[in-house]
A and B are shown apart, each in its own frame.
Chain A
């Protein structure tokens, strides 16, 4: 039943490691997003994909690489993890990017802690 799901929910890892977070949506949406929420709850977009095509790529270190195998999945791979990468990462999806007024549905978040 879950519309937007993410795995894992919690991720604790050492600095320098490489990790992936997975996201899946079963809403039939065309557009998916990754957001980062810091310790002050500030929420900022990182990437957006529409039908497997990258359409938004904010100023994010190239250690972060999104991958969309199909339009229902958008995974986030992070290389050489740093302490500052500790945050909650949210996946979201919306029907279409073409309209400015599409509701985005968020997943439950992945809490990443880098030690």
Chain B
């Protein structure tokens, strides 16, 4: 189930089940979005990206969905494994070319129950 922890929204999921992590972004002009995974004690790691001319993109066990109408992104993880336990961030690229920056959303903690 989903709950709001002391700091981060937390999703607890049984190993083998699918996970869905949601993210709302703010800038309707953003045209590139990225999901990052941050394991405990490590830096964020790129998972998958999507451009604004796409609605869906699939990777290995992960799928990103983009709904530009409501400015919403989601990350689906299939057959969640213990190694998927981490904090997940969506990020949008802001700014004009040459001065681009990543604006990160709030993280979502995923806890995989073996």
Interface residues of A (CB under 8 A from B): 4, 39-45, 48, 55-56, 90, 92, 97-109
Contact with A along B47-68 (1 / 0, CB 8 A): 0010100000000000000000
Contact B49 A43 (CB under 8 A): no
Number of interface residues of B (CB under 8 A): 28
A6: shortest Cβ distance to chain B, in Å? 9
- Give Cα A18 to B106, complex, Å: 30
Instruction: Please tell me which one of the listed residues A42, A56, A108 contacts residue B101 in the complex, with CB atoms under 8 A apart.
Output: A56
Contact A55 B8 (CB under 8 A): no
List chain A residues, Cβ under 8 A from B34.
103
Closest to A43 in B: B104
Contact A45 B42 (CB under 8 A): no
List chain A residues, Cβ under 8 A from B41.
108-109
- Give Cα A90 to B99, complex, Å: 19
List chain A residues, Cβ under 8 A from B103.
45
- Give Cα A94 to B25, complex, Å: 23
Contact B46 A104 (CB under 8 A): yes
List chain A residues, Cβ under 8 A from B43.
4, 90, 92, 106-109
Contact with A along B1-42 (1 / 0, CB 8 A): 000000110000000000000000000000110100010011
